[in-house]
């Protein structure tokens, strides 16, 4: 079991897309200061690394030390492994003082959280009224018509192994509770649309699939989603245009708001 989750952490770090610079520029434009940001559920630090190029200091937390071990090491980014449930006292002692944060970000993780408890913590540590919370998810990738025609039914077949929270992602976070005020210049809290692009070969694409929680859940239950037949179908579709490297597009959906009064 330990090896299974170590492999998942490796696959997550290697297979997941990064996030577009436009996303971070948009978020940063909505925070009046760029002193301190907290990236919650950072995983292997994909978002924290980008935030570290904009904010003076970033605290990045996750409940998985295995994932944090694969995060990029930057001088102004501090990684901290937290328990699944953290008290307000621990939060303010080890993560951030009350009313000290310019920004809280959650990349591809908000749907896993106990939202009432988490939002209470966010409201404690964000600056008032200008502190900003930004949460985003990305939905299934687009490659080309041929590959997508294989991927779509494969994704549907994997659905029994996803947690119920996955539907919040497929719905682009439109249905997620988000009790914050629109940021300056906007009349709603989103979702705002961006696109993450990553050059991938077939092996990279399969590594991305193996990083799914649904893939790991199926594995634990003795089910291999990527059977030889499925892999061969992907190989035929992927090689049809004669190019291994393809630009894979991941639609990104951002909810963003400020604490307000």
Residue-wise pLDDT tens digits, 212-237: 999 999 999 999 999 999 999 999 99
Say what the pLDDT of residue 16 is: 60
Say what the pLDDT of residue 1 is: 33
Instruction: Report CA 78 to chain centroid distance, whole Å.
Output: 18
Say what the pLDDT of residue 260 is: 87
User: Which pTM does this prediction carry?
Assistant: 0.91
| Alpha-carbon span 229 to 240, nearest angstrom | 17
Average pLDDT in the 35-51 region?
96
Say what the pLDDT of residue 224 is: 97
Across the chain, mean pLDDT equals 93
Query: Which SS3 state, helix, strand or coil, does residue 180 take?
Result: coil
- Residue 28 has a CB neighbour count (10 Å cut-off) of 19
| Alpha-carbon span 74 to 122, nearest angstrom | 24
Q: Which fold has domain 2-258?
A: Rossmann fold (3.40.50)
For the chain, give the percent of residues with pLDDT over 90: 90
Q: How confident is the model at residue 5 (pLDDT cuts 50, 70, 90)?
A: very low
Residue-wise pLDDT tens digits, 70-103: 999 999 999 999 998 999 999 999 999 999 999 9
Block residue for tokens 């400020």: 258
Strands 36-40 and 57-62: parallel
* Radius of gyration of the chain measured on its C-alpha atoms: 19
DSSP 242-255: S-S-EEEEEEEEEE
For residues 151-170, one letter each, b for 16 or more C-beta atoms within 10 angstroms of the residue's C-beta and e for the rest, the string is beeebeebeebbeeebebbe
| Alpha-carbon span 185 to 192, nearest angstrom | 13
Block residue for tokens 């492994």: 81
Average pLDDT in the 117-128 region?
97
């Amino acid at each position: 079991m330990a090896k299974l989750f170590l492999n998942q952490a490796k696959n997550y770090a290697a297979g997941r897309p990064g996030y577009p610079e436009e996303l971070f520029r948009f978020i940063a434009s909505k925070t009046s200061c760029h002193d301190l940001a907290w990236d919650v559920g950072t995983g292997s630090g994909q978002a924290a690394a980008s935030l570290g190029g904009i904010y003076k200091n970033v605290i990045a937390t996750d409940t998985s030390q295995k994932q944090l071990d694969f995060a990029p090491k930057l001088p102004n980014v501090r990684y901290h492994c937290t328990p699944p449930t953290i008290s307000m006292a621990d939060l303010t002692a080890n993560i951030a003082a009350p009313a000290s944060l310019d920004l809280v970000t959650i990349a591809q993780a908000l749907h896993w959280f106990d939202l009432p408890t988490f939002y209470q913590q966010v409201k404690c540590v964000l600056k008032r009224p200008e502190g900003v919370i930004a949460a985003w998810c990305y939905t299934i990738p687009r490659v080309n018509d041929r590959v997508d025609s294989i991927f779509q039914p494969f994704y549907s077949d994997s659905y029994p192994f996803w947690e119920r929270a996955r539907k919040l992602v497929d719905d682009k976070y439109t249905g997620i509770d988000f009790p914050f005020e629109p940021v300056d210049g906007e009349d709603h809290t989103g979702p705002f649309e961006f696109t993450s692009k990553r050059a991938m070969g077939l092996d990279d694409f399969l590594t991305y699939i193996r990083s799914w929680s649904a893939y790991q859940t199926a594995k634990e239950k003795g089910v291999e989603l990527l059977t030889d037949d499925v892999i061969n179908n992907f190989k035929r579709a992927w090689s049809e245009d004669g190019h291994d490297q393809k630009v894979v597009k991941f639609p990104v959906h951002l909810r963003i708001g400020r604490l307000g009064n």
